[in-house]
Amino acid sequence: MAANPDIASRLQLATPAPLALARIIAYALPAIPLAALTLPLYVLVPTFYTETLGLSLASVGFALLIVRVFDAVNDPLIGWAADRFRPGFGRRRTLFAISLPLTALSAFMLFWPPVDASVLWLAAWGLLLSLGYTAALIPFSAWGAELATDYHGRSRITAWREGLTLVGTLIAIALPFSIGFDQAGGVHGLAALGLAILVGLPLFGAVAVALTPEPVEHSRVRVDLKAGLSHLVRNRPFVRLILAFFLNGLANGIPATLFLYFVSARLGLPDARGPLLFFYFLCAIAGVPLAAWVARRVGKHRAWCYGMLAACAAFAPAPLLPEGSLIAFATICAVTGLLLGFDLSLPPAIQADVIDVDTAASGEQRSGTYFAAWSLATKLSLAGGVGVVFPILAAFGFDPASSASTGNGLTALAVAYAWVPIAAKLASIAIMWNFPLDETAQKELRNRIETA
């Protein structure tokens, strides 16, 4: 049967040509300063405000708790607004551009406070940074998901974005530690990072907005909030993906939280913590193109499963290492760091595919809503890991503030660091192994969307 020429012409018009590499890089550049925000906020800022500025641990913890609660409320609201906001310049580019000045200024003020800064300074600028960062990240992620409509093109875009995200993470580790941040006056390491973000985020953001096109929108109708939530819950591939992502987030978040303790208390290598952490993320950069290569041959969900399986195998010996095992643990860091590239680049590319399920069913392209749910799942997995693991470790006698932790406490630390995450990863693999959205199914969805 001959193809309908009207449908063929509409499909040709609706489907954009593959994005040139220069435009993909331009789009991905803001990932560098955005990534430089996350690690300091949750790891370095509490240390600086308590140890260097002398604020009480309880007050800093309470201020950051308020920021995190506000952050959780931000996600769905900004995701909904990102899909409803339709200015002439483009809904993704406009909201992203508007958010940049607030995000850059808030980071600068939070990372370079006056020497007499109070907990109110931390809370106020932390809340503003939370607002700006979420308003930047959700349209930025949705923008990337919509720039490509083909199965492997999405992997290419997320690979570049997550690769540059890792570059930003390395900068966020190297800059503060190389300069130092144990003095509140002058340009300390955290202040230097704040200056870099103040300049780099608006600059790279302007490049992205100027050189990257607004994606084609395929919405046919407006879906109200109740109907939109109903479509989201009935999107079975999305439910499977976000559950697997949450479990894998726990599997990555627990060892990330316990890394410094494991290296210093269990392995007795406190001076190696910074270099090992840097080495881990450096290896992850090499893992991003490897993940894209494997995904092109076996499919995205199966490539992610293979990466998680390999990470489980590499991580399993960690609790058995004797004290002082620098080379052996560095090898584990190298392998698991390489496989982190799979965790970072493949799930967002699959997320773009499950959004197609909703677009075909609801008639509205609601990438902002989906990435808001994604962001919320990320934060819940990080918070959940800390909330569960620390009380268990305390029950077994591990005290991170003391060098006199019991043998049971150190054993519990080793098991929680490696084997609990392995169990979570295996559950995630079971969910994703026979995931229904492969390349063929995704092409059929795009045909339905673009010929509607």
Q: Which amino acid is at 82?
A: A
Final residue before a domain boundary, out of 194, 217, 240 = 217
Cα–Cα distance measured from residue 147 to residue 3, given in angstroms and rounded to the nearest whole number:
27
In a domain, 259, yes or no: yes
Is the same domain home to 233 and 175? no
Count of domains for the chain: 2
Q: Is 81 exposed, middle or buried, given 0-12, 13-18 or 19+ CB atoms closer than 10 A?
A: middle
Dmax over Cα atoms in the chain, in whole Å? 78
Cα–Cα distance measured from residue 324 to residue 346, given in angstroms and rounded to the nearest whole number:
35
Is the same domain home to 386 and 450? yes
Tell me if 335 sits within 8 A of 281, measured CB to CB.
no
- Overall average pLDDT of the 278-293 stretch: 93
Is the same domain home to 78 and 181? yes
Burial 27-54 (b: 16+ CB within 10 A, else e): bbbbbbbbbbbbbbbebbbbebbbebbe
Is the same domain home to 230 and 154? no
Final residue before a domain boundary, out of 217, 249, 272 = 217
Is the same domain home to 199 and 240? no
Which residues, in sequence order, are CB contacts of 309 under 8 Å at separation 6+? Answer: 429
**Which pLDDT score, from 0 to 100, does residue 13 have?**
38
In a domain, 38, yes or no: yes
Is the same domain home to 76 and 201? yes
Range of the domain at 237: 222-452
Is the same domain home to 347 and 444? yes
What's the pLDDT tens digit per position in 248-273?
988 988 888 788 788 888 899 988 88
The 8-class DSSP code of residue 29 comes to T
Tell me if 284 sits within 8 A of 340, measured CB to CB.
yes
Confidence of residue 104 (pLDDT cuts 50, 70, 90): very high
Tell me if 245 sits within 8 A of 377, measured CB to CB.
yes
Cα–Cα distance measured from residue 335 to residue 329, given in angstroms and rounded to the nearest whole number:
10
Domain holding 405: CATH number?
Answer: 1.20.1250.20
Is the same domain home to 102 and 206? yes
Please give the angle made by the CA atoms of 287, 293 and 296, to the nearest 5 degrees.
140
Is the same domain home to 175 and 323? no
Cα–Cα distance measured from residue 29 to residue 25, given in angstroms and rounded to the nearest whole number:
6
**Which pLDDT score, from 0 to 100, does residue 216 have?**
77
In a domain, 331, yes or no: yes
In a domain, 183, yes or no: yes
In a domain, 8, yes or no: no
What's the pLDDT tens digit per position in 291-305?
999 999 999 999 999
Kindly state the tokens that stand for 363.
Answer: 């008639």
Confidence of residue 5 (pLDDT cuts 50, 70, 90): very low
Final residue before a domain boundary, out of 200, 217, 234 = 217
Cα–Cα distance measured from residue 375 to residue 377, given in angstroms and rounded to the nearest whole number:
5
Is the same domain home to 112 and 185? yes
Confidence of residue 87 (pLDDT cuts 50, 70, 90): confident
In a domain, 169, yes or no: yes
Read off the pTM.
0.81
Tell me if 412 sits within 8 A of 393, measured CB to CB.
yes
Is the same domain home to 175 and 240? no
